[in-house]
Amino acid sequence: MQVRELDVRDAYEFIPTTFSDNRGLFVAPMQEPALQEAIGHPLWVAQTNHSISARGAIRGVHFADTPPGQAKYIYCARGSLLDVVVDVRVGSPTFGRWDAVRLDDTEFRAMYLAEGLGHAFIALEDNTAMSYLCSVGYNPRAEHGVNPLDPALNLPWPTDLTPVLSEKDAAAPTLAEAEASGLLPQYADCVAYYEKLRAG
């Protein structure tokens, strides 16, 4: 398993080895030793999510109140997608920056996003299946969003796709509006929580 730290702090790309033969393919997209070495603590999995998306569907930018926030480990089980992490933590050295990784059912690359980071993706083909492991269960009162089409963020959505958004995501505030309203996580709170996790 290869690991690459992304431009956004506390986000990582994982590249597993795939094994193919006349029966098909085997891969382990999530391997705890590699993840723990990268982030400094185990990932407690409280919920697994699975979504099927049509070509052009955008989900996000989603984040949760931190602490406890919601860390995510993400891979594409079928099809292909562009996965995007956005630093929405006020006070972070990489606040407002993003990074993106193509996830697909050929290489089975994965992404880890620490608590407090924003997450979004766009399906690059129909019937794209995404699976992700979450550190805490879904709490609708603690989950928030930033508009994925915020021009100030300028996220790397392919220009040949027509974005398809939920009403909730389309109505989400821009990053500047979310910051002004006090909606965004504070970087200092997130870092203190990461240290608590590392301390066990």
Mean pLDDT (whole number) for 151-180 = 97
* E strands, 87-179, in order: 98-104, 110-113, 118-123, 128-134, 143-145
pLDDT confidence of 148, banded at 50, 70, 90?
Answer: very high
Please tell me which residue in 12, 73, 132, 193 is annotated as part of the active site: 132
Predicted pLDDT at 82: 98
The 10 Å Cβ neighbour count of residue 103 is 26
Q: Is 62 a catalytic residue?
A: yes
| Locus of tokens 């080895």 | 17
pLDDT confidence of 153, banded at 50, 70, 90?
Answer: very high
Question: For residue 158, is pLDDT > 90?
Answer: yes
Q: What structural domains does the chain harbor?
A: 2-199 (2.60.120.10)
pLDDT confidence of 200, banded at 50, 70, 90?
Answer: confident
Predicted pLDDT at 98: 98
Mean pLDDT (whole number) for 24-45 = 96
Query: What is the percent of the chain with per-residue pLDDT over 90, rounded to a whole number?
Result: 100
Predicted pLDDT at 147: 98
Q: Compute the distance between CA of residue 133 and CA of residue 32 in angstroms, rounded to an integer.
A: 12
Predicted pLDDT at 88: 98
- Which amino acid is present at 133? L
Mean pLDDT (whole number) for 132-138 = 95
Mean pLDDT (whole number) for 47-71 = 97
Predicted pLDDT at 161: 97
When the pLDDT of each residue in the chain is averaged and rounded to a whole number, the result is 97
pTM of the shown model: 0.95
Please tell me which residue in 12, 62, 75, 187 is annotated as part of the active site: 62
**Residues 60/169, Cβ–Cβ less than 8 Å:** yes
φ and ψ at residue 33, rounded to 5 degrees = -60, -40
Question: For residue 4, is pLDDT > 90?
Answer: yes
pLDDT confidence of 156, banded at 50, 70, 90?
Answer: very high
**Residues 86/155, Cβ–Cβ less than 8 Å:** yes
Q: Is 119 a catalytic residue?
A: no
Count of residues making up the chain: 200
Query: What is the percent of the chain with per-residue pLDDT over 70, rounded to a whole number?
Result: 100
φ and ψ at residue 34, rounded to 5 degrees = -65, -40
